[in-house]
Amino acid sequence: MTPARTTPTAPMYRLSTKGVIRSEWHKLWTLRSTWITLITASALVLAVGITMGATYDGDDAEVDTIVFTLFGTQLSQICLAVLGILVTAGEYSTGMIRSSLAAVPRRVPVLWSKAGVFAAVAFTLSLATNVVTFLVAQIWLADTDKELSLTDPGVFGALTTSAVSLTLLSLVALALGALFRSVPGAIGAFVATVLILPEVLSMLPFGAVDTAMKYFPAQAASSLGSVARVENTIAPGAAVCTLVLWAAAIMAAATMLLKRRDV
């Protein structure tokens, strides 16, 4: 009697890029910290924008209108950077990363899906918040020297590039979270390299340092988000490319270490 021939069973699921992205999307929105951080980031920009518009008395006439209105993005940047770090380093602190990497053995799609999902959310939220804040602030800025319309030349572009800079700086934070695998360590690295180090280097009396400083993340981002060209900064196009290269370089380093580490 010949033994019955068994047929191989098909795998229960088929791993795909779309599935990994969907998984990261669900993980992001099921965290309470995501909702709290995003609402806080948006509320800070709107609250500061309303305050700046309602209290404007003409003293800051030389400040670009978009920069003046979106002054609160300096606070929301901190919120989005912390959220970006939590997206990657947070999984290491909870141990969830083991399940994620077990489900996606190639590992790399996990990190890049996190980055893609987070970038889409950060940019959409930032742009929507910028537009709403600008329109609401114009209620008080009407009939002043800062009165602008959304359709005026350069206005929507400035609102968009502001959202782009927030998103790319947040991606730098996300990549640092993957690199350090520690929430406190990544936050410390972000503050030190993006905020503190440029200020320390600016004290050095060398022209080459001043030139190089313009290509640091925070300094490159400062040339974005305004209708008029900001003095002593690189061109907006070069600034976007600079931020993309910073984010890509740190993401590449995090990707390489992710492939080599055990977990």
- Report percent pLDDT > 90 for the chain: 67
Residue 207 — very low, low, confident or very high, per pLDDT cuts 50/70/90?
confident
The structure's pTM equals: 0.90
pLDDT digits (tens, 9 = 90+) for 154-190: 999 999 999 999 999 999 999 999 999 999 999 999 9
Residue 1: pLDDT above 90?
A: no
Distances 28 to 18, 86, 124, 150 between C-alpha atoms, Å: 15, 10, 15, 32
**Closest among 86, 112, 97 to 34, alpha carbons compared:** 86
Cβ atoms of residues 126 and 162 within 8 Å: yes
Q: Which pLDDT belongs to residue 211?
A: 84
**Averaged pLDDT, 226-255:** 92
The 10 Å CB-count burial string (b at 16+, else e) for 170-201 is bbbbbbbbbbbbbbeebbebbeebbeeebeee
Q: Which pLDDT belongs to residue 4?
A: 52
**Averaged pLDDT, 199-213:** 80
pLDDT digits (tens, 9 = 90+) for 88-117: 999 988 888 888 888 888 889 999 999 999
Residue 136: pLDDT above 90?
A: yes
Q: Which pLDDT belongs to residue 203?
A: 80
Q: Which pLDDT belongs to residue 121?
A: 97
